Amino acid sequence: MGIFKAYDIRGKVPSELNPELARKIGSAFAKLLSARRLIVGQDMRTHSPAIAEAVIEGIRDTGCDVTSIGLASTPMAYFAIGSNYCDGGLNVTASHNPGEYNGMKLCGRGATPISAANGILDIERMVGGDLGLKKQIMRGRLDPVDTLDRFADHVAKFSHVRQPISVAIDAANGMAGYTLPPILDRLPKIRATTMLMEPDGTFPNHEANPLKEANLAPVKQLVIGSNSALGVSFDGDADRVGFVDERGRTVGNDLMTALFAREILMERGRAAVVYDLRSSWVVREEIEKAGGIPIRDRVGHSFIKATMRANDAVFGGELSGHYYFKDNYTCDSGEIAMITALNLLGNTSRPLSKMAAELRRYFGTGEINFEVEDKDAAIAMLKEQFADGRQDELDGITVEYGNLGERAWWWFNVRPSNTESLLRLNLEASEPKLRDQQRAALVALLGEPRG
């Protein structure tokens, strides 16, 4: 079944995912965890109530009790799972995907992620076989619980803004439109100008994916029109965000990781910070300058979270717009990321545009995609072609030439997509000319980029 992905379950409704299958997934999930109580939330998609109800019934079929939290952003579901006595839980959502999609993001106890490596493929096998449910088993209880106010209290505790600050917010008709109003009510120094706050699972205005530059156009207009210090655009389930400065210019998520790390390390003292290997070398540089311990990790929330837990890291950031916080059960939260950005700006007179400009010291290509039939063979070819560079295979292949502080250095990472027949290239250099030369060399080896 194609819906069982590396980090979640996701597919089109009803052709790939429907209530009948969702009920089986619920039973398999409960059996996987030998669960006695699980938490279930759902996003605002038109079919989420039916999918969530079916998942709940499947869980109850095993004798496991369910706490239903109803409408929830994915960070709100993580909070409910992490803060309550339970064996895990899930949120019914397809994140930023269009309205015809739905799916599930799953966690174990303490909001630890369930991925293909530790459960999703087992669920796929169980769903495809005999779940072995006993007809005479006592069905689990269903307890509806309203978690929104507790979640708003939790997020508001991350704020320590000392002076009034304005923010422009595009909720993209996603779950941020549900969770943000009670959060903002608790933060009187934050003056928010908002748009598309009505949750609508058909996404009638624009795709809820802040990684695509076109989807940031509305918040860019809003931040300038409202004279705000910051613009924030959320994805569909509010676990990812994109940021723009007061001039309406996009600030890359790796640069925001560097800025957040400085802010958090200033408060927490020396600690580990995890960042994904596609990030600019400026991230490592800024973490070290702030007295932190930079830890480079492979792409994916399950890897970042595991590395953070293993190293007691206070913060983690990904190029995809996921930001992870130790005090948030080591989970990602778009709502808390927004609060952290406001903390950064609300305690200084320096604008975000100036802070970001100081970090644009190096020259990257951004992510470039290549359609490659044999991804393993292509990576093996690159390993041979660039054998004179420093190499590692943490995620795909990374090759480095030179070091920070030298006049000429460059590096690249090529990694396989987890969902498509694509190789993804990220390259950075100390000079624009060197970047362009090495980009051309890699394109010559990998073929014409997609798109």
> Within 10 A of 4 (CB to CB), how many other CB atoms are there?
20
The CA-based angle 57-62-65, given to 5 degrees, is 65
How many domains does one find in the chain? 4
81 and 189 in a single domain? The answer is no
pLDDT in tens, 349-365: 899 999 999 999 999 99
406 and 285 in a single domain? The answer is no
Helices 334-346 and 352-359 pack at an angle, to 10 degrees, of 100
Q: Is residue 451 part of a domain?
A: no
Active-site choice (48, 73, 95, 159): 95
Q: End of a domain among 247, 262, 278?
A: 247
Cα–Cα dist 315/328, whole Å: 10
Q: Is residue 1 part of a domain?
A: no
Residue 419: predicted pLDDT: 66
105 and 123 in a single domain? The answer is yes
13 and 137 in a single domain? The answer is yes
Q: What whole-number percentage of the chain has pLDDT above 70? A: 99
pLDDT in tens, 44-76: 999 999 999 999 999 999 999 999 999 999 999
Asked about 95 being catalytic, the answer comes back as yes
Residue 161: predicted pLDDT: 92
431 and 344 in a single domain? The answer is no
CA atoms 93, 97, 99, 101: torsion sign: negative
Is the peptide bond between 14 and the residue preceding it cis, with omega within 30 degrees of 0? yes
Burial of 449 (0-12, 13-18, 19+ CB in 10 A): middle
Average pLDDT, stretch 229-240? Answer: 98
Cα–Cα dist 6/118, whole Å: 10
For residue 435, the domain's CATH number is 3.30.310.50
343 and 392 in a single domain? The answer is no
Q: End of a domain among 146, 171, 190?
A: 146
Token pair, residue 306, equals 């595991």
CA atoms 106, 112, 113, 114: torsion sign: negative
Averaged pLDDT of the chain? 96
> Within 10 A of 373 (CB to CB), how many other CB atoms are there?
7
Flag whether pLDDT at 306 surpasses 70.
yes
Average pLDDT, stretch 95-99? Answer: 92
Cα–Cα dist 291/75, whole Å: 29
Domain membership of residue 205 as a residue range: 150-247
pLDDT in tens, 258-277: 999 999 999 988 999 999 99
112 and 31 in a single domain? The answer is yes
pLDDT in tens, 169-204: 999 999 999 999 999 999 999 999 999 999 999 999
Average pLDDT, stretch 371-383? Answer: 94
CA distances in angstroms from 347 to 128, 160, 189, 324, listed in the order given: 54, 9, 12, 22
Q: Is residue 349 part of a domain?
A: yes
Q: Is residue 2 part of a domain?
A: no
Give the bridge partners for 242, in sequence order. 233
- Cβ atoms of 284 and 294 within 8 Å: the answer is yes
Helices (H), 269-392: 281-289, 301-311, 334-346, 352-359, 375-385
Flag whether pLDDT at 1 surpasses 60.
no
Residue 136: predicted pLDDT: 60
Burial of 43 (0-12, 13-18, 19+ CB in 10 A): buried
Residue 420: predicted pLDDT: 74
Average pLDDT, stretch 88-117? Answer: 96
pLDDT in tens, 129-163: 888 777 667 999 999 999 999 999 999 999 999 89
30 and 135 in a single domain? The answer is yes
- Cβ atoms of 202 and 174 within 8 Å: the answer is no
20 and 119 in a single domain? The answer is yes
Residue 45: predicted pLDDT: 97
Q: Is residue 3 part of a domain?
A: no
For residue 40, the domain's CATH number is 3.40.120.10
